[in-house]
Amino acid sequence: MKQSSHGGSPARELTTWFQLRRWLKARWNLNLLLGVISLTTLAAVWELGKPLGIPLISNVPPPSEVIVAAQDLLTSEQYWQGWYLSLQRITIGFIIAQIIGIPLGLAMAINRMTFDTTFPVIEILRPIPPVAWIPISIVFWPTREMSVIFIVFLGAFWIVLLNTIGGASHIDPSYKRAALSLGSRPNDLFWKIILPATIPSIVTGMAVGMGISWEMVVASEMIAGDTGLGYLLWLSFQINAIGHVIVCMISIGIAGYCSSAIIRAAGEWATPWRRLF
């Protein structure tokens, strides 16, 4: 049989490919099974917490009561309006953070003067928690809506900025020297080496920043807003509807997970060289 250019027969290569696919499929099924087992165990312990008097858990409504509360809340117009407004605020604040943070991080990483003039200001402002900006944002911005979006912006901005700087600053200098020695121009160096090498760090910063953005939108809606999932959560707590509180918490967790998953999927699409075939 004719040998392939890689030194193995086509039949052997095909067998290896099928083995790899079988291993990946088995691993995915195992991960799914473990996830189902862990969630089922958590639900069972949670449900039995009250009858058994398990500390802490016994004070929380069991899943059976949460399901009833979810049925009540899912038919509420206020719930879906809260979803819509929170997603809108997240989208606007997060996109603005990327539009400013990614170019600024790249500029700071590749230009020493930009780094020296900007980094001291960033290091002074960055340690301030975004929640601490809520009183100032209420005074500074003309509407509560803009205040909430600003807090979401801060939650995503610092993470993507620092990840972009770190990713672009740790590129192997030999790649740049090799490109320049082969006649590459500065524009080629940026588009062919710096930006592709930084994309994984940017995606990581975006995924982490998205999770923090959800934290910030909930906190700001609880304090400075009168709509959204965060406000609904706080309102439910005030009227002692703890089941509704838990439904809002689970909704926020699902929203954060799905948002970060979309970003990670987009990152895998943008970096095909990192995929495992």
Per-residue pLDDT at 8 exceeds 60: no
| pLDDT for the residue 158 | 93
In terms of Cα–Cα distance, which of 256, 260, 43 is closest to 248?
256
How much of the chain, in percent, has pLDDT values that exceed 90?
Answer: 25
Question: Burial, 237: exposed, middle or buried (Cβ in 10 Å; 0-12, 13-18, 19+)?
Answer: middle
Is 233:162 a contact under the CB 8 Å cutoff?
no
How far, in Å, are 36, 63, 79, 93, 103 from residue 250 at the CA level? 17, 12, 13, 22, 34
Report the b/e string of 10-47 with b at 16+ CB within 10 A: eeeeeeeeeeeeeeeeeeeeeeeeeeeeeeeeeeeebb
CA distance 208 to 203: 9
The pLDDT of 160-187, averaged and rounded, is: 83
| pLDDT for the residue 3 | 46
Residue pLDDT, tens place only, 66-87? 888 888 888 888 889 989 999 9
CA distance 40 to 71: 20
56-65, 82-91, 259-268: least confidently modelled range: 56-65
Residue 41 banded pLDDT, cuts 50, 70, 90: confident
Residue pLDDT, tens place only, 102-125? 999 999 988 889 888 998 998 899
More confident call, 57 vs 6:
57
DSSP assignment letter at 172: -
How much of the chain, in percent, has pLDDT values that exceed 70?
Answer: 85
